[in-house]
Amino acid sequence: MATNTPNYQLRKPAGSDLVNVVTDIGDNMDDIDTNLKRVDDYTLLKPLARLRQEAAQSVNASTWTALSFGAEDIDTHNGHDNSTNPSRYTVQKEGYYRLGGGSWWASNATGVRFTRWAKNGNVIENAGTDVAPLGGGSVTYVPAVDIIISAIVSDYFELMVWQNSGGSLNTAVAGGTNEEGASANIEWLRPL
């Protein structure tokens, strides 16, 4: 009688006669193939996105605003659209996700700058950070909190910003080799 391995329940050959051993080995190969496919699904086929802002965005004072992203360096599962809801990354595969990124701001020394994550338009607790702006013509960078959160298909994430400079203020974007420009990084980690 065949038995199973303790961890993955792979069938072990019974060893009672040669015909059963050959059959059991074939069944075991099928089990191994199924488990390797699961590993591929969790690692090789995991959603991954890196979104960037290529144009400055005006942000009204004292108003939480979702950043709009016009470029996708990576979007393996088409969770982002540059023209329809360009502020959103929509989940295509349920699981746990790691979110990261940050915002750049035009030079202005008044007030503070905030960045936070939202899921389905609601604030994610403990997912915000603030920075006092730099003056003297320098742009200010506000990193987003690196956070892990669960999501199901059709949930969406947005990187939101806030500022209180006393008026509208643009995000900072520089082309070429300059580092300025808001970005959002979304990485699927594992199933729920």
What DSSP assignment string belongs to 51-68? EE--S--EE-TT--EEPP
Q: In terms of domains, do 141 and 122 share one?
A: yes
Q: What are phi and psi of 29, to 5 degrees?
A: -60, -40
Q: In terms of domains, do 66 and 150 share one?
A: yes
Q: Which pLDDT score is estimated for 1?
A: 57
Q: What are phi and psi of 138, to 5 degrees?
A: -90, 145
| pLDDT at residue 135 is higher than 80 | no
Q: Report how many domains make up the chain.
A: 2
- Looking up residue 80, the CATH number of its domain turns out to be 2.60.120.40
Q: What are phi and psi of 108, to 5 degrees?
A: -175, 125
Q: In terms of domains, do 52 and 8 share one?
A: no
Domain of 33 in residue numbering reads as 3-43
Q: Which pLDDT score is estimated for 39?
A: 66
| pLDDT at residue 152 is higher than 60 | yes
Compute the distance between CA of residue 52 and CA of residue 14 in angstroms, rounded to an integer. 57
Compute the distance between CA of residue 59 and CA of residue 142 in angstroms, rounded to an integer. 14
Q: In terms of domains, do 72 and 142 share one?
A: yes
